[in-house]
Amino acid sequence: MKPRIAVVGSVNMDLVFRTPRMPAVGETLSGHEFRQIPGGKGANQAVAAARQGADVAFIGRVGDDGFGQYSIRCLSEDGIDVSYLSAVPDIATGVAGIIVTDAGDNSIVLAAGANAALSAENVDAAQTAISSAQLLVCQLETPLSTVTRAIQLAKQHNVKVILNPAPVQALADELLQQVDYLVINETEASQLSGIPVTSQESAHLASEKLLQRGVSAVLLTMGEQGLCITEPGKRQYIAAIRVDAVDTTAAGDTFVGAFAVGIGRGLDIHAASVEAQYAAALTVTKLGAQTSIPSRSEVEEFMQSRAAG
Ligand code: RIB
Protein backbone atom coordinates (compact mmCIF):
# COMPACT_ATOMS: atom_id res chain seq x y z
CA MET A 1 0.00 0.00 0.00
CA LYS A 2 1.26 3.46 -0.88
CA PRO A 3 1.65 5.89 2.04
CA ARG A 4 -1.06 8.57 1.99
CA ILE A 5 0.15 12.09 2.66
CA ALA A 6 -1.69 15.41 2.81
CA VAL A 7 0.32 18.58 2.26
CA VAL A 8 -1.08 21.98 3.26
CA GLY A 9 1.16 24.62 1.79
CA SER A 10 2.46 27.11 -0.70
CA VAL A 11 2.86 27.18 -4.46
CA ASN A 12 5.36 29.60 -6.01
CA MET A 13 6.76 30.20 -9.43
CA ASP A 14 10.51 30.47 -8.91
CA LEU A 15 12.21 33.10 -11.07
CA VAL A 16 15.79 31.85 -10.95
CA PHE A 17 18.87 33.90 -11.91
CA ARG A 18 22.22 32.12 -12.11
CA THR A 19 24.95 34.61 -11.30
CA PRO A 20 28.73 34.53 -10.73
CA ARG A 21 28.21 35.82 -7.17
CA MET A 22 25.66 37.68 -5.02
CA PRO A 23 25.13 41.29 -6.21
CA ALA A 24 26.23 44.02 -3.78
CA VAL A 25 23.74 46.66 -2.61
CA GLY A 26 23.18 49.14 -5.46
CA GLU A 27 25.03 46.99 -8.02
CA THR A 28 23.66 45.80 -11.40
CA LEU A 29 25.17 42.39 -12.03
CA SER A 30 24.97 40.41 -15.28
CA GLY A 31 23.78 36.84 -14.75
CA HIS A 32 24.51 33.73 -16.83
CA GLU A 33 20.97 32.40 -17.18
CA PHE A 34 17.31 32.90 -16.22
CA ARG A 35 14.79 30.07 -15.66
CA GLN A 36 11.14 29.84 -14.52
CA ILE A 37 10.85 26.75 -12.34
CA PRO A 38 7.85 25.56 -10.29
CA GLY A 39 8.53 25.82 -6.57
CA GLY A 40 7.07 26.82 -3.21
CA LYS A 41 7.94 24.88 -0.09
CA GLY A 42 4.56 23.16 0.11
CA ALA A 43 4.47 22.16 -3.54
CA ASN A 44 8.10 21.01 -3.44
CA GLN A 45 7.41 18.80 -0.41
CA ALA A 46 4.35 17.35 -2.14
CA VAL A 47 6.39 16.60 -5.28
CA ALA A 48 9.16 14.99 -3.22
CA ALA A 49 6.63 12.74 -1.47
CA ALA A 50 4.90 11.82 -4.75
CA ARG A 51 8.21 11.01 -6.49
CA GLN A 52 9.12 8.77 -3.54
CA GLY A 53 5.94 6.80 -4.17
CA ALA A 54 3.23 8.29 -1.93
CA ASP A 55 -0.38 9.12 -2.75
CA VAL A 56 -0.37 12.86 -2.14
CA ALA A 57 -3.23 15.35 -1.76
CA PHE A 58 -2.25 19.01 -1.93
CA ILE A 59 -4.24 21.78 -0.25
CA GLY A 60 -3.29 25.30 -1.40
CA ARG A 61 -4.13 28.34 -3.54
CA VAL A 62 -2.73 29.87 -6.69
CA GLY A 63 -3.62 33.05 -8.57
CA ASP A 64 -5.94 33.02 -11.56
CA ASP A 65 -2.98 33.43 -13.93
CA GLY A 66 -0.54 31.56 -16.14
CA PHE A 67 1.88 30.76 -13.31
CA GLY A 68 -0.99 29.23 -11.34
CA GLN A 69 -2.26 27.12 -14.25
CA TYR A 70 1.26 25.91 -15.03
CA SER A 71 1.92 25.03 -11.37
CA ILE A 72 -1.31 23.03 -11.13
CA ARG A 73 -0.44 21.17 -14.35
CA CYS A 74 3.03 20.28 -13.05
CA LEU A 75 1.65 18.95 -9.74
CA SER A 76 -0.97 16.87 -11.61
CA GLU A 77 1.73 15.43 -13.87
CA ASP A 78 3.44 14.17 -10.71
CA GLY A 79 0.22 12.33 -9.85
CA ILE A 80 -0.71 14.69 -7.00
CA ASP A 81 -4.42 15.15 -6.18
CA VAL A 82 -5.04 18.85 -6.85
CA SER A 83 -8.81 18.85 -6.10
CA TYR A 84 -8.12 21.14 -3.13
CA LEU A 85 -5.78 23.51 -5.01
CA SER A 86 -7.92 26.37 -6.25
CA ALA A 87 -7.34 29.68 -8.01
CA VAL A 88 -8.07 33.01 -6.25
CA PRO A 89 -9.38 35.77 -8.54
CA ASP A 90 -7.46 39.06 -8.74
CA ILE A 91 -4.39 37.87 -6.83
CA ALA A 92 -1.10 36.74 -8.38
CA THR A 93 0.32 33.26 -7.84
CA GLY A 94 3.12 33.30 -5.25
CA VAL A 95 6.50 34.19 -6.71
CA ALA A 96 10.04 33.61 -5.44
CA GLY A 97 12.94 35.60 -6.90
CA ILE A 98 15.97 33.33 -6.47
CA ILE A 99 19.64 34.12 -7.08
CA VAL A 100 21.90 31.07 -7.35
CA THR A 101 25.64 31.76 -7.50
CA ASP A 102 28.35 29.65 -9.16
CA ALA A 103 29.34 28.51 -5.66
CA GLY A 104 25.84 27.01 -5.20
CA ASP A 105 24.68 29.60 -2.63
CA ASN A 106 21.22 31.06 -2.96
CA SER A 107 19.14 34.04 -1.82
CA ILE A 108 15.35 34.08 -2.03
CA VAL A 109 12.79 36.91 -1.97
CA LEU A 110 9.13 35.91 -1.68
CA ALA A 111 5.86 37.55 -2.71
CA ALA A 112 3.20 35.34 -1.08
CA GLY A 113 0.36 36.32 -3.44
CA ALA A 114 -2.41 33.71 -3.37
CA ASN A 115 -0.63 31.66 -0.68
CA ALA A 116 -1.72 34.33 1.82
CA ALA A 117 -5.36 33.59 0.88
CA LEU A 118 -5.26 29.93 1.98
CA SER A 119 -7.76 29.98 4.82
CA ALA A 120 -8.93 27.72 7.64
CA GLU A 121 -12.17 27.30 5.64
CA ASN A 122 -10.17 25.96 2.68
CA VAL A 123 -8.58 23.47 5.06
CA ASP A 124 -11.97 22.47 6.49
CA ALA A 125 -13.19 21.84 2.94
CA ALA A 126 -10.29 19.39 2.54
CA GLN A 127 -11.03 17.53 5.79
CA THR A 128 -11.46 14.19 3.98
CA ALA A 129 -8.00 14.45 2.41
CA ILE A 130 -6.44 15.18 5.81
CA SER A 131 -8.40 12.64 7.85
CA SER A 132 -7.68 9.83 5.38
CA ALA A 133 -3.92 10.53 5.29
CA GLN A 134 -1.26 8.85 7.45
CA LEU A 135 0.69 12.08 7.71
CA LEU A 136 0.03 15.79 7.37
CA VAL A 137 2.93 17.96 6.18
CA CYS A 138 2.90 21.76 6.71
CA GLN A 139 5.31 24.69 6.40
CA LEU A 140 4.85 28.41 7.13
CA GLU A 141 4.56 30.04 3.69
CA THR A 142 0.79 30.08 4.23
CA PRO A 143 -0.99 31.82 7.15
CA LEU A 144 -0.24 30.41 10.60
CA SER A 145 -3.99 30.33 11.40
CA THR A 146 -4.47 27.97 8.43
CA VAL A 147 -1.60 25.72 9.46
CA THR A 148 -2.94 25.66 13.02
CA ARG A 149 -6.36 24.54 11.78
CA ALA A 150 -4.86 21.83 9.57
CA ILE A 151 -2.83 20.48 12.49
CA GLN A 152 -5.90 20.50 14.76
CA LEU A 153 -7.87 18.52 12.16
CA ALA A 154 -5.04 16.03 11.74
CA LYS A 155 -4.81 15.43 15.48
CA GLN A 156 -8.59 14.92 15.74
CA HIS A 157 -8.15 12.05 13.27
CA ASN A 158 -4.92 10.59 14.71
CA VAL A 159 -2.93 11.71 11.68
CA LYS A 160 0.79 12.26 12.38
CA VAL A 161 2.03 15.83 11.83
CA ILE A 162 5.31 16.96 10.28
CA LEU A 163 5.92 20.71 10.59
CA ASN A 164 8.72 22.46 8.72
CA PRO A 165 8.50 25.96 10.26
CA ALA A 166 9.98 27.88 7.33
CA PRO A 167 10.07 30.83 7.00
CA VAL A 168 10.42 30.78 10.76
CA GLN A 169 8.13 32.75 13.09
CA ALA A 170 7.23 32.54 16.79
CA LEU A 171 5.10 29.46 17.55
CA ALA A 172 2.85 28.80 20.53
CA ASP A 173 3.54 25.82 22.79
CA GLU A 174 -0.06 24.66 22.12
CA LEU A 175 0.85 24.25 18.45
CA LEU A 176 4.22 22.60 19.09
CA GLN A 177 2.53 20.08 21.42
CA GLN A 178 0.64 18.72 18.40
CA VAL A 179 3.72 18.25 16.23
CA ASP A 180 5.14 14.73 15.92
CA TYR A 181 8.19 15.64 13.81
CA LEU A 182 9.61 19.17 13.69
CA VAL A 183 12.05 19.49 10.77
CA ILE A 184 14.19 22.62 11.10
CA ASN A 185 17.52 24.08 10.04
CA GLU A 186 20.06 25.88 12.24
CA THR A 187 18.50 29.33 11.79
CA GLU A 188 15.01 28.13 12.59
CA ALA A 189 16.23 26.13 15.59
CA SER A 190 18.18 29.10 16.96
CA GLN A 191 15.19 31.39 16.62
CA LEU A 192 12.61 28.98 18.05
CA SER A 193 14.76 27.82 20.97
CA GLY A 194 16.76 30.98 21.75
CA ILE A 195 19.94 28.84 21.67
CA PRO A 196 22.42 29.69 18.88
CA VAL A 197 23.05 26.50 16.89
CA THR A 198 26.67 26.24 15.78
CA SER A 199 27.61 22.62 16.55
CA GLN A 200 26.16 19.16 17.14
CA GLU A 201 26.03 19.78 20.88
CA SER A 202 24.18 23.10 20.55
CA ALA A 203 21.86 21.49 17.96
CA HIS A 204 20.83 18.83 20.48
CA LEU A 205 20.48 21.43 23.26
CA ALA A 206 18.25 23.64 21.11
CA SER A 207 16.21 20.60 20.09
CA GLU A 208 15.81 19.50 23.72
CA LYS A 209 14.43 22.97 24.49
CA LEU A 210 11.83 22.40 21.75
CA LEU A 211 11.01 18.96 23.15
CA GLN A 212 10.33 20.67 26.49
CA ARG A 213 7.88 22.94 24.65
CA GLY A 214 5.95 19.88 23.50
CA VAL A 215 7.29 18.59 20.16
CA SER A 216 7.72 14.79 20.05
CA ALA A 217 10.87 14.68 17.87
CA VAL A 218 13.18 17.27 16.32
CA LEU A 219 15.14 16.69 13.11
CA LEU A 220 17.70 19.48 12.78
CA THR A 221 19.22 19.57 9.29
CA MET A 222 22.62 21.27 9.16
CA GLY A 223 23.62 20.92 5.49
CA GLU A 224 27.22 19.73 5.22
CA GLN A 225 27.33 19.31 9.01
CA GLY A 226 24.78 16.49 8.88
CA LEU A 227 21.56 15.86 10.76
CA CYS A 228 20.80 15.77 14.49
CA ILE A 229 17.73 13.83 15.61
CA THR A 230 16.54 14.47 19.14
CA GLU A 231 13.77 12.61 20.95
CA PRO A 232 13.05 12.44 24.68
CA GLY A 233 16.10 10.74 26.22
CA LYS A 234 17.68 9.97 22.83
CA ARG A 235 20.18 11.79 20.59
CA GLN A 236 21.23 10.55 17.13
CA TYR A 237 23.56 12.02 14.53
CA ILE A 238 23.70 11.17 10.81
CA ALA A 239 26.59 12.50 8.71
CA ALA A 240 25.86 14.45 5.53
CA ILE A 241 26.05 12.76 2.13
CA ARG A 242 28.85 14.44 0.17
CA VAL A 243 28.00 15.64 -3.36
CA ASP A 244 29.17 18.41 -5.72
CA ALA A 245 26.68 21.19 -4.98
CA VAL A 246 25.06 23.04 -7.89
CA ASP A 247 22.05 24.54 -6.09
CA THR A 248 20.71 23.83 -2.61
CA THR A 249 17.18 25.14 -3.40
CA ALA A 250 14.52 22.63 -2.26
CA ALA A 251 17.02 20.27 -0.59
CA GLY A 252 15.22 20.83 2.73
CA ASP A 253 11.86 20.35 1.05
CA THR A 254 13.01 17.10 -0.52
CA PHE A 255 14.18 15.91 2.89
CA VAL A 256 10.73 16.65 4.39
CA GLY A 257 8.76 14.94 1.59
CA ALA A 258 10.99 11.88 1.47
CA PHE A 259 11.07 11.62 5.28
CA ALA A 260 7.25 11.66 5.35
CA VAL A 261 7.17 8.79 2.87
CA GLY A 262 9.70 6.78 4.87
CA ILE A 263 7.62 7.16 8.05
CA GLY A 264 4.47 6.33 6.04
CA ARG A 265 6.18 3.13 4.84
CA GLY A 266 6.79 2.15 8.46
CA LEU A 267 10.51 2.98 8.67
CA ASP A 268 11.82 4.23 12.00
CA ILE A 269 12.95 7.83 12.37
CA HIS A 270 16.62 6.98 11.70
CA ALA A 271 16.02 4.87 8.59
CA ALA A 272 13.52 7.38 7.16
CA SER A 273 16.05 10.17 7.76
CA VAL A 274 18.87 8.32 5.99
CA GLU A 275 16.73 7.82 2.86
CA ALA A 276 15.59 11.43 3.04
CA GLN A 277 19.20 12.61 3.26
CA TYR A 278 20.10 10.71 0.09
CA ALA A 279 17.10 12.23 -1.69
CA ALA A 280 18.05 15.73 -0.49
CA ALA A 281 21.69 15.24 -1.54
CA LEU A 282 20.60 14.39 -5.11
CA THR A 283 18.48 17.57 -5.19
CA VAL A 284 21.59 19.64 -4.52
CA THR A 285 23.28 18.30 -7.67
CA LYS A 286 20.80 20.01 -10.02
CA LEU A 287 19.47 23.54 -10.58
CA GLY A 288 16.05 24.55 -9.32
CA ALA A 289 13.29 23.29 -7.05
CA GLN A 290 10.92 20.80 -8.70
CA THR A 291 13.39 20.27 -11.57
CA SER A 292 15.88 18.76 -9.14
CA ILE A 293 13.73 16.51 -6.91
CA PRO A 294 14.65 12.86 -7.57
CA SER A 295 12.44 9.82 -8.19
CA ARG A 296 12.39 6.75 -5.93
CA SER A 297 14.52 4.76 -8.41
CA GLU A 298 17.13 7.55 -8.58
CA VAL A 299 17.38 7.56 -4.78
CA GLU A 300 17.65 3.75 -4.62
CA GLU A 301 20.38 3.69 -7.29
CA PHE A 302 22.27 6.46 -5.50
CA MET A 303 22.10 4.63 -2.16
CA GLN A 304 23.31 1.42 -3.78
CA SER A 305 26.17 3.20 -5.55
CA ARG A 306 27.36 4.78 -2.29
CA ALA A 307 27.00 1.44 -0.42
CA ALA A 308 29.12 -0.24 -3.13
CA GLY A 309 31.84 2.29 -2.34
O1 RIB B 1 12.51 25.86 -0.21
C2 RIB B 1 12.68 26.33 -1.53
C3 RIB B 1 11.50 27.14 -1.94
O4 RIB B 1 11.44 28.28 -1.13
C5 RIB B 1 11.56 27.65 -3.35
O6 RIB B 1 11.02 26.77 -4.30
C7 RIB B 1 10.84 28.98 -3.27
O8 RIB B 1 9.62 28.99 -3.94
C9 RIB B 1 10.66 29.25 -1.78
O10 RIB B 1 9.38 29.05 -1.40
Domain that holds residue 286: 4-308
Q: How far is CA 70 from the centre of its chain?
A: 20
pTM over 0.85: yes
Q: Using 50 as the pLDDT threshold, list the residues of the chain that sit under it.
A: none
Q: Beta strand pairing status for 227-231 and 217-221? A: antiparallel
Dist. CA 54–CA 73, nearest whole Å? 18
Please count the structural domains in the chain.
1
> Which of 17, 74, 185, 253, when mutated, tests ligand 1's pocket best, judged by the most ligand atoms within 8 Å of its CB?
253
| CATH number of residue 189's parent domain | 3.40.1190.20
Query: Closest by alpha carbon to 166, among 152, 150, 146, 186?
Result: 186
- pLDDT tens column, 213-248: 999 999 999 998 999 999 999 999 999 999 999 999
Q: Ligand 1 pocket check: which of 10, 13, 14 to mutate, most ligand atoms within 8 Å of Cβ?
A: 14
Alpha-carbon distances, residue 153 vs 3, 136, 187, 199 (angstroms): 19, 10, 29, 36
Predicted pLDDT of residue 307:
87
78 flagged as catalytic: no
Q: Tell me the CA–centroid distance for residue 220 and ligand 1, in Å.
A: 18
Whether 41 lines ligand 1, by a CB cut-off of 6 Å, is yes
CA terminus-to-terminus distance, the chain: 32
